[in-house]
Structures are given as C-alpha cells and as structure tokens.
Structure 1
Amino acid sequence: MSSNLSRTPRHVLVIVASTRPGRLGPAIADWFVQAALPAATASGVTLDIADLADIGLPLLDEPEHPSSGTYVHEHTRSWSRQVAAADAFVVVTPEYNYGMPAALKNAFDVLYHEWAWKPVGFVSYGNTSAGTRSVQMTKQVVTTLRMLPIGATVALRIAESINDGQVLQSAGLDESARRMLLELSRVASAMRPLRTEPDGEVAGVAGPVDGLRLTMAQPDDLAELLVLQRCCWVQEALANDTLDLSPLRETLDELRESMSTWQVWCVRRQGRLVAAVRARAHERAWLIGRLMVAPDQAGNGIGSWLLSYVEQQAPQEETAYYELFTGHRSIHNIKRYERAGYVLTHDEDVPHGSVRLTKQRQPAAFVM
C-alpha cells in the first residue's frame, strides 16, 4: 500500500444510535472520542459526533428510493452530507429486544450510496450481553450497504462499566477505544481506492472515441468537476458577454449540495475528467443541465453521445419531455440541441439571458 494513503486525512463519524430520554449514548460517545483522541491526532484522523436524537430523521419520508440519491427534504440532505463526508463510522448502540434501535435502522435506510465502501466499528452497551446482539443485527444491515465491520469492538456491561451515567475510568477500556480507532483508520485508508473507483460505472455504453469511462459522480470527483465546469463556461461567458453565470459562481459546497437533488454523470478518458452532465425529474419533465465537454475534447461527438445517454435515464412512465437551458447568444449550443431534436420554447419564466429548449420523449417501442 502506498504510504501516501496512510497520510491522507480521514474523517470518522461517531453515531449515537439511541434517542430515548435518559439514554447513556451521548456520555459513551463522549468517552470514546476522548479516549481515542490521542491516537486519532497522531494518525491524522478527525472525529465528529452525530447524535440521532438531535438530527431527528422522520421515518422514511422521502418520495424517491434512497438509491436514486434524490432527496426533497433538507433533513435528509443534511444527513447525506454528513455521511458522505465520512471515511469511517463508529456506532454507539444499546440493545433493544435483541436488536438495534429503530432510529439507527432508519438512519441507515434513508441513504444508500453514501455508506458504501467504508468501515464501521461498534461500541455497544447493555446488561447481560453488553449490547452485542444489537451489533450482530446491525452487521447484517451494514454489509448489505457495502460497508465493512471491523474486528475490533468495545462492549460495555452497564453494571461494570457505567456509574452515575458516566463511563468509569479504565486504562483497559481506553486502550480498547484506541485500538478500534487505529484499526478503523487503517481499514479506511485501504478502502479509499474502492470509493474513488465508482461502483456506478455504466456497462455496455460504447463511446464515440476510445478510452471513455462513464460513471455516476462521487464526492471525490467534485473538485475536478468544478474546475472542468469553469473551463467550459468561459466560452459561454464570451458568447453571452457576461460573467454573471451560475456555473462560474458556484462554490464547491454548492456543487456538493446540488448532488442531493441532481443525478450527476462523469466521463473520464485515461483517468482524466473530460465531460459531465446532470439530470433530475420535475413533474413531467426530465431536466438536463450542466452538459459540458473539455474544450480540447470538443468536436469528437462526446457531447452528443452524453446527451443521448442522459435522455435514456429518464423515468419511463413519468417523463413526457426533456428540458434544458442555454445562453440566448450561445448559437453553437442552440444549433447542436436543435440537431438533437430540441425546439426553442418561449416561456416568460425563463431566466434573463437564457433560452429554454424542449424535446418530446418518444414512447418505448413495444416488442412482441
């Protein structure tokens, strides 16, 4: 393994699973962070606590499936950002009737891609079994989300380890917390390449030139995506005689936020990001935006190929037409979209300086 991986900063999210009044979870999470902090500092790991009682996620209230990555509620978007930013997790959980708390199961279920290829450790607590049966149940769930439970765990028997709501001073327990953190850190570093090679690669889509790889965008793509976006929209700024274009103003945080409402696809050629596009459903329309191709790759059909591909990703039953916008002076773009079957659609709600183009979706052919 490259030594660079071990020096890459890692972020561990400590999740407090219990939401009951009078719970021990926050005190145990605080103990774990303090006990593990020296090891975390030495190994370049940051620790944050996510208390599910404070986060307050409703029970599965998103209309779209979590695998779509499309969230309409800010509480889900905020949780998505927290989980996506983490490289690993520590779950602090009690045991309820031989199982995990319902709030923890819900916290897992409202997201999907954000959990993948990340390790998770457990600090459990309880009476007879010290919460270990809750951990066993939770492991079944996290492995389905493509997470990896590590071997090191901490299990606290309340009668032996807790007094007056606080974890008793114990060099042995503190050492267990440090060992878990170090193992979690090592596994997170080892799994990082899995997160930079997206599992959302599209199989069987032949590009117009050799060496193209089409994938769903991942958090690690965002910085490069922002650079590509600004390069591509310089031409739009010149054509429309304005720098007041949202793709040029957008920050990295805003781009990250947009991934909670848009599906984003990236195209790489020999590892380099050369094109991208995003889309989302809105009522009967399939909105297509930020279609971009690196200037030195333009003219070889990548843009048309990518436009055709993203049109095919529209929900079949719900989509009546495709919709996109471009600058009113972007003659090259307008002609390209017209060649692809789009027509200019006059609408008073179109943003100033833009034009709206739409294309009716052709129903899928019925094959006997």
Structure 2
Amino acid sequence: MSTTFRDPMRVLVIVASTRPGRLGTAIADWFVRVTKADAEHGGIAVDVAHLAELDLPLLDEPEHPSEGAYVHEHTRRWSQRVAAADAFVMITPEYNYGMPGSLKNALDFLYHEWAWKPVAFVSYGNTSAGTRSVQMTKQVVTTLRMMPIGATVALRIADSTSDGQVVESMQIEETARGVLAELTRVADAMHPLRADAESVGGPIDGLTVDLARPGDLAEVLVLQRCCWVEEALANDTLDLAPLHETLDELRESSKQWRLWCVRRHGRLIAAVRARAHGATWMIGRLMVAPDYVGKGIGSWLLEYAEQMAPAEATQFALFTGQRSERNIGLYERAGYALTSAESMPPHSVYLTKQRALVG
C-alpha cells in the first residue's frame, strides 16, 4: 500500500453490467470484502458505483464532454462521483467479444474527470474470463488519458463462481489484493501529474480544485486565519469562530463538511466547504488569499460550491459577518438575500438563495 499519497485515497469500483440478475454485483462485493483490510491499512476509501442504479441514458449532453458544460443533473452527479475518485476498478463482463455498452456510455459522458488516473479490471466471462472485454476497454480508457495497470483479476464463471457467488480461493483473493496494491502505487505516482493538469478554468489561469485531504488541513487553517483578520477588523471583534478554530476541530468538522481547496502553481489560494442540511446546501468558510482578492475567484468558487450540491437540495444558504459589506455585496450579486434565522452565530447575518430548476 502507498505511504506517500495524501490520505484518504479514493477508489471507485464501477459495476459495468446493467443486466437483471447480473453477476457483477456479487463480484464487486467479493472484491471489496477481500481487499477491505488492505484498504483500511492503506488509508483507502472505497466507493461502489452500479451503472444499473445510476440509470444514465444514452449520451444526451448537447456539448462535447471536454467542455464540462453539463445541462443534465444525471451528468453532474456522475461527474462529481468520478472527479472525486483517484483510481478506478472496473468490474466488467464480456458481451460478444467486447465491453458492455453501458460501460462505454458511462465513459463517454465525461472527459477531464477521468484523466491521469489509473484503472484496474476485474473481468468475468466464459471462454476468455472476460479478458476480451478488458482489451476493448483499454483502447477507450487510454484515449481518455487513463492508465490501465498490469495486474488484473479474470474470473472464468464455470471455475470461479458457484450459486451466483465467487468461490473461496486463496490464490484469487491474493490476486485481488495485488490489484489494489498496484493500483495504489500507480495512483500515488500519477497524482502530481493530475494536480498540475487538472486546470478548471476560472477567472485566472492555472487554477485547480480538489477535495481537501488530511494533509491539507494545516495549510487551510493558516489561510483561514489570514483571511479572517480582515473580517475581525470589519466587524470590530475577535469573537469569530474561524480565528479560533484548532487543527483538531478542523479535522473533526471535515467529517461533516466537504472541503475544496483551490491551488495555483501548488500554492493554496482559496477554499470553501459545504454540506447538506435537509433540503438546504450550506456553504461555509469561503476564503481567498488577500493578494488574490478582487480577481473574481470568490464569485467563481461560490458558483463551484453551488454546483456541487446534491440533486435534492432546493436552496443554498450561508453566513457572513454583519458588517462585512464586501462579502454581503458579493453574495447579493450572486442572487442571495438576507434572511432571518432561528439561531445565528455572533456578529453574523444569514443569506439564502433558491436553487434554479434545470431541465
């Protein structure tokens, strides 16, 4: 397992088949179970995506995926899930010497979200144990700038499964653990490439956005205290929670909030966090380094945080200082309005914005 990757590494296991009675679900469960101890030891968070449950239609976005201008909520949900992953394991059967159409379609929906990330395969089938599906898929993923690793699990259904389950086999389980180990090493090696290459556009060149990892939190705390000095001056008080938050408190809060870091040429220059509270998407601690203020990054990052809201969110909400005129102006220009709230942090105002319906 990797020791240098900024924990936790996120591995997305994709179950390709959508056929009723599919064997892929049992194989994914088996893979997660036999690699669980290694994943926990290596600081790896494993997520499982069933294409049958995602219910993606045939590619229906009007713009090319490389534009990232998604108009459909199902695409945005899929984009968020893939973008959050550092590596992939594809559980795929073989249909007529090839990959399932559902997998090809899911790959085609996105572009930048796949790039510079490794992918492993667990295939299954009859004569070839699904390996011809893997060979076909490799042509597609390499075009998306993904890196297929060498280690694979190939299950011949007649030999490796019984009653819809993978049979116990020390040899096959060891192979699965080897796949995860190699995937981790390659993801670790590719992370700097991805960090440099995943420019997200924005108001100035060279910006990248990524979910914060534990190794980022100390740097976030320094930026936070730097940014809230101006808030303290504007509101004539030091009684502001961001100024007094400890690293341990930030670590604890990061379990409840999704925290995004914005970097430019490796330097942390902005951050924002958000979480769901019922049907409200709460946005907090939007911060921009003082020497980058006035370049449009705050407005851009606010919009980015809004786009990360789950489908069920119907409104956005946030707090800011009651005398923070510049912040209030920024939020009002973005469509937020001052709103009364039952409970309010000291020296704060509450603003909300209704989410626009799409489609």
- TM-score of the pair, normalised by structure 1: 0.63
Superposed CA offset, 1:169-211 (max 9, x none): 2222112111111111221222222233234288xx8xxxxxx
Q: Is the 8 A contact 1:226 1:252 kept in 2?
A: no
Using the TM superposition, give the Cα deviation of residue 45 of structure 1 relative to its aligned residue in structure 2, in angstroms: 2.6
Aligned to 1:36: 35
Aligned to 2:147: 148
**Change in CA separation of 1:10 and 1:272 when aligned onto 2, cut-off 3 Å:** closer
User: 2:206 is matched with which residue: 214, 235, 249?
Assistant: 214
Superposed CA offset, 1:199-257 (max 9, x none): 4288xx8xxxxxxx73243335996679757854764686589999xxxxxx9799969
List runs of 5+ in structure 2 lacking aligned partners.
241-252, 273-284, 301-319, 340-348, 351-359
**Change in CA separation of 1:10 and 1:276 when aligned onto 2, cut-off 3 Å:** closer
List runs of 5+ in structure 1 lacking aligned partners.
206-212, 245-250, 278-289, 311-325, 338-343, 355-368
Pair 1:294 & 2:294 matched: no
* The 10-residue stretch of structure 1 (99-108 or 62-71) with the greater mean CA deviation from structure 2: 62-71
**Change in CA separation of 1:169 and 1:228 when aligned onto 2, cut-off 3 Å:** same
Using the TM superposition, give the Cα deviation of residue 17 of structure 1 relative to its aligned residue in structure 2, in angstroms: 0.2
- 1:64 and 1:121 map into 2 onto residues whose CA distance is 29
Q: Is the 8 A contact 1:226 1:255 kept in 2?
A: no
SS in 2 for 1:86: coil
- 1:238 and 1:112 map into 2 onto residues whose CA distance is 44
Aligned to 1:194: 193
CA RMSD in angstroms, aligned pairs only:
4.8
Amino acid at match of 1:123: V
Using the TM superposition, give the Cα deviation of residue 303 of structure 1 relative to its aligned residue in structure 2, in angstroms: 5.0
Using the TM superposition, give the Cα deviation of residue 121 of structure 1 relative to its aligned residue in structure 2, in angstroms: 0.6
Aligned to 1:316: none
Amino acid at match of 2:152: T
Q: Is the 8 A contact 2:262 2:268 kept in 1?
A: no
Aligned to 2:56: 57
- 1:305 and 1:43 map into 2 onto residues whose CA distance is 39
**Change in CA separation of 1:180 and 1:225 when aligned onto 2, cut-off 3 Å:** same
**Change in CA separation of 1:97 and 1:162 when aligned onto 2, cut-off 3 Å:** same
Using the TM superposition, give the Cα deviation of residue 125 of structure 1 relative to its aligned residue in structure 2, in angstroms: 0.9
Aligned to 2:8: 9
- 1:233 and 1:12 map into 2 onto residues whose CA distance is 35
What pairs up with 1:170-249 in 2 under 5 angstroms? 170-200=169-199, 214-220=206-212, 228=223, 232=227, 235=230, 239=234
What pairs up with 1:101-140 in 2 under 5 angstroms? 101-140=100-139
**Change in CA separation of 1:351 and 1:103 when aligned onto 2, cut-off 3 Å:** farther
- 2:49 and 2:327 map into 1 onto residues whose CA distance is 45
**Change in CA separation of 1:294 and 1:265 when aligned onto 2, cut-off 3 Å:** closer
SS in 1 for 2:197: coil
- 1:233 and 1:6 map into 2 onto residues whose CA distance is 30
| CA radius of gyration, larger in | 1
SS in 2 for 1:61: coil
**Change in CA separation of 1:14 and 1:267 when aligned onto 2, cut-off 3 Å:** closer
**Change in CA separation of 1:267 and 1:196 when aligned onto 2, cut-off 3 Å:** closer
Using the TM superposition, give the Cα deviation of residue 90 of structure 1 relative to its aligned residue in structure 2, in angstroms: 0.8
- 1:331 and 1:234 map into 2 onto residues whose CA distance is 15
Aligned to 1:285: none
* The 10-residue stretch of structure 1 (162-171 or 76-85) with the greater mean CA deviation from structure 2: 76-85
Superposed CA offset, 1:82-127 (max 9, x none): 2222221110001122221121122222222222222111011112
- 1:44 and 1:291 map into 2 onto residues whose CA distance is 28
Superposed CA offset, 1:45-85 (max 9, x none): 33332111112222223444433434444433332332222
Using the TM superposition, give the Cα deviation of residue 274 of structure 1 relative to its aligned residue in structure 2, in angstroms: 3.6
SS in 2 for 1:217: strand
Q: Is the 8 A contact 1:127 1:158 kept in 2?
A: yes
**Change in CA separation of 1:266 and 1:180 when aligned onto 2, cut-off 3 Å:** closer
**Change in CA separation of 1:9 and 1:267 when aligned onto 2, cut-off 3 Å:** closer
SS in 2 for 1:130: coil
Q: Is the 8 A contact 2:34 2:176 kept in 1?
A: yes
**Change in CA separation of 1:48 and 1:254 when aligned onto 2, cut-off 3 Å:** closer
Q: Is the 8 A contact 2:7 2:43 kept in 1?
A: yes
Q: Is the 8 A contact 1:100 1:135 kept in 2?
A: yes
Q: Is the 8 A contact 2:200 2:209 kept in 1?
A: no
Equivalent residue pairs, number:
301
Q: Is the 8 A contact 1:214 1:265 kept in 2?
A: no
SS in 1 for 2:206: strand
